[in-house]
Chains A and B, each alone.
Chain A
Amino acid sequence: MTAGEPVRSELSRELSLFHITMMGLGMMIGAGVFIGIGISMGKAGPGGVILTFALNGVIAVFTAMSFAELSSAIPRAGGAYNFARIAFGRGPSFLAGWMEWFASSVAGSLYAVVFATYTLDFVLNGLLDLDLAEGALRLPIKGVAVAVALAFLYINYRGASETGKVGAFFTLGQTAFVLAIGLVGLGVVAWDPGRLANFRPFLPNGWGVLLATMGFIYVAFEGFEVIAQAGDETIDPKRNIPKAMLYSVLVVTVTYVLVSFAAVVAVRADDPALGGLAPWEWIGKSGATGFGSAVERLLPAGMGGVLVVLAVIFSSTSALNATVYSATRASYALGRDRMLPARFARIARKRRTPYVALAATGVIVVLVAGLLPTQDVASCASMMFLFLFFLVNVCVIRVRLNMGDELTYGYVMPLFPLPPILAILAQATLAFFIVHMSLTAWIITPVWVVAGLGIYLLYSRSRAVTTEDEIHVLEEQQAPPGDQYRIMVAMANPANAVELVRNTYKLCAAKDARVELLNMVPVPDQVPLAAAESYKLDGQEGIVEQMLYLAPRFPISSTLRYCRNVARGIVSAVREKKVDLLIMGWHGRRRTHAFSLGSTLDPVIERAPCSVVIFKDCGGNQRFRRVLVPLAGGPNGAFALEVATILAEPGDGEVVAMTIGSEEMAFDLAGFIEQNADRLHLPRNRVHTRTVQADNVVDAILKEVEQVDLVVLGATREPLLYHLGRLSVPETVALECPKPLVIVRASGGIRSWIKRWI
């Protein structure tokens, strides 16, 4: 692209197969399994609970195949709302969005209730030994559930829901823990095969009751569909999204079957606490906390209770957070497309989150969590997801038959159309049988669907906007060809634009480089990246200013990228565009002690596969006549020296290479400069050396800083664990340096994850 063309928008693809699989698992292994095991065992018996999970797994894998096929054919549109739009048009699409909103909100209520149930039971009955009956806990549980829901609504409003890679590792730990419980169950049976007698009678209440428990517990298999929403952000989405959906359903099905097996064999039939009941009856009697009571007896020394509560806290809070923004996203999309009043798409000016959609979601979450009993909340969520998945299974048949020749597929399911037809029949049957678990759910859920139909016919049909707005796909720009040296200027704050660009000019001239201007625009999770156009104005202004300055001299490409996390977005852009040098700005402060320079700079310095130069306070018309480069033989020293000579005023500017040490132990500066002079084109007459004797390195450097116009520092390369809780010398100098500062890191191969940490 030439300088005359407008700024282009593109998507930041940062999520790998691992991340999106974990995203699905994090949503699925939430509350359903924890409350479902106890309640289902009480209804269907010890064999019934295992059959419930195994057979639901089959229905879930059929549905996952439908989602996978649709997502592979329409990877960027994501979600039931857009699948229905393509398959059937606006009416069913509204209904899908409407159901998705309610289903996710009620799932959020369920997670809040489960959190409250397990933590209160653990604290009051476990730690304080009050031995309160379920009835006495009902009111406090509702209170805590509402409080937790409100807390997470506020967190979503603050826009701090993004958990990124840390979230993926939490999910991995949570899944591993639940799976470990299942494996302990197998181990216990191998040690004491007599416990298999707990499975007699296998199905005490017959096969019929299975349909009711399967429908009730179906919410435990929802969550893989959120992977479709990440289509915009996933690397190789046609391949990875379908795989992630199928993997996550496979992992949860096996995990659930194992963990329900472990729950059945956890309690010995001769345990005096059972009071004459069979183990399955005793677990079933505990209802929602039955799983916790069983696992308490599976692991020794009271570990079970603590671990289950920890697992519930982690899984239900992360799932609650995710469902709240998933629900907000659904109602935001309806507002954006004018199917609900436009105010649903309003974005808060400061927080940049869709606050009206969030507030409306909050009302549903709080009302359902506060007013309905746990079993009804779970049944409501399950029933709505059954309806939603029913619709998607119909969509996959329709899309394949009508548009199979037009769309390009990354996956076509085997045995089509048998799996979606079987899933449709099964889902309709399960939704019907939920009446045996909760009459309330059977009334509320159809009423919501009928109300949706009414709203569509009376309001939305005449107001909805055109298709182009509903399914917005942003274009991607390919990296320009050629092997010229590439410099990327990345900025998240447009106010830095001019400061960055002046210094970039000198570096570009020295390297005869091609320039890639990149503006990262962070978009909150509640807003799909494809709908983030309203966030780009500020970024565009910054880029235009930079283009005006650099365009006459250098070939320029400029890009605007929407991202969830600025650091990840920059690293992925550097990788994609094969950049040699990355330039960024720094405000000079750190907001939290968890980072050395900042939450964006630290990961970029650590991971960018190229050289990095960071400017602080280098703006204005400053001339750098005397530039200080502290050296100690580190890997970035030569690059720091090269950057210093480029930035020093041409003609009379001088570079002072400084080292600190005793007479015997000083770093050989003169030898180092001589060794690198030819390779880096260092002007020998302008580079001076200085060795200072001092005990405190930081103080000595800061004293020298007073006599110079600019300091160029090499970034630290110490492992992350090494400077946990303390700063390295370059970082301390950087934070305390009162003069303009440049921090550099030379490209030096990508170190392994383990090496980086230890």
Chain B
Amino acid sequence: MWGILIVGLALGLVVGLVVVSCRRINRIAKRGYRSARQTIKELRQ
């Protein structure tokens, strides 16, 4: 049971991180490319 739960969590984490990352990539492309610090600031807004 623990095994299945871990497999599920791992796959969920992979899917989640890819989805979040791709949304970020789209948002950053829309707002224009800036330095890392500036990008993080804008993403928080």
Contact = CB atoms under 8 A, between A and B. Distances in A.
B24 A239 contact: no
B38 to A, nearest CB: 8
Nearest to A238: B33
A412 B6 contact: no
A249 B17 CA distance: 11
B14 A238 contact: no
A202 B3 CA distance: 7
A65 B17 contact: yes
Nearest to B34: A408
B39 A409 contact: yes
A404 B35 contact: yes
Contacts of A412: 24, 28, 36, 39-40, 43
A54 B39 contact: no
Contacts of B26: 239
A257 B11 contact: yes
A61 B28 contact: no
A242 B24 CA distance: 11
Given A411-B21, A411-B25, A400 B36 contact: yes
Contact of A54 (B7, B18, B29): B7
Contacts of A47: 3
Contacts of B10: 51, 54-55, 57-58
Contacts of A400: 36
A68 interface: yes
Interface in A169-212: 202-203
B3 to A, nearest CB: 4
Contacts, number: 98
A257 B7 contact: yes
Interface string A470-509: 0000000000000000000000000000000000000000
Interface in A413-438: 413-414, 419
A246 B18 contact: yes
Interface in B1-45: 3, 6-7, 10-11, 13-15, 17-18, 20-22, 24-26, 28-29, 33-37, 39-40, 43
**Interface bracket on A:** 35 or more
Contacts of B24: 411-412, 414
Contacts of B13: 58, 61
A243 B14 contact: no
Given A58-B10, A409-B34, A414 B18 contact: no
B18 A249 contact: yes
A410 interface: yes
Given A407-B35, A409-B34, A250 B7 contact: no
A65 B18 CA distance: 9
Interface string A43-55: 0000100110011
A166 to B, nearest CB: 27
Contacts of B28: 409-412
A243 B36 contact: no
B33 A409 contact: yes
A246 B23 CA distance: 12
B36 A414 contact: no
Interface string A217-253: 0000000000000000000101100110011011001
Interface string A24-64: 00000000000000000000000100110011011001100
Nearest to A252: B14
A219 B10 CA distance: 19
Interface of A: 47, 50-51, 54-55, 57-58, 61-62, 65, 68, 72-73, 202-203, 236, 238-239, 242-243, 246-247, 249-250, 253-254, 257, 400, 404-414, 419
Interface of B: 3, 6-7, 10-11, 13-15, 17-18, 20-22, 24-26, 28-29, 33-37, 39-40, 43
6 contacts: A51-B3, A57-B11, A58-B14, A62-B17, A72-B25, A408-B35
